[in-house]
Amino acid sequence: MREVQWPTIAAGRKGRIAISFPGTTEKDQGDLTRPWNYYVVASVNALSKNPTFVSNISNPATDPVHRGDCPGRCGNMLDFLDVLVSPAPDHSIWATVVDTCTGLRNCNSNPDAIGFDEDAGLFEDADNAARDMRGLCVKQVGGPNIGWGR
């Protein structure tokens, strides 16, 4: 991981946590095509001397949730990022994210696409904000049970 923005955290039973955040493994902050993915991380022993954390990206690797730099509110992701533990018996992890890398300029499938309008010359009022975005809901389908209770 090279850079992350706005991590969110949820806790279940003692030592059990979930963390979510947009992040990138690319180091060139000036690269306007740099892909960002949405990560969900979980631990069932976060308070132990040597905790274990498991993680995965919640979007397809070929379809990032953002491209380029992630200044300010990261292309209008704003604060619509969250993670929680379901009160349902499975205690699954749920998360939300705003995908700012969609169909406009083919950002989702073109690794050379600029993910927001800075220097793109496509909009008169370039403000680092995506013009085409969608909200996504992420649900855990396997892995550790974060759980509630004692």
Within-domain flag for 72: yes
Q: Write down the pTM of the prediction.
A: 0.83
For residue 116, the model assigns a pLDDT of 59
19-56 residue pLDDT tens: 999 999 998 888 888 899 999 999 999 999 999 999 99
CB half-sphere exposure, 45, CA atoms < 13 A: 5
Range of 135's domain? 3-139
Task: Give me the numbers of helices (H) and strands (E) for the chain, helices first please.
Answer: 0, 9
Within-domain flag for 147: no
Within-domain flag for 108: yes
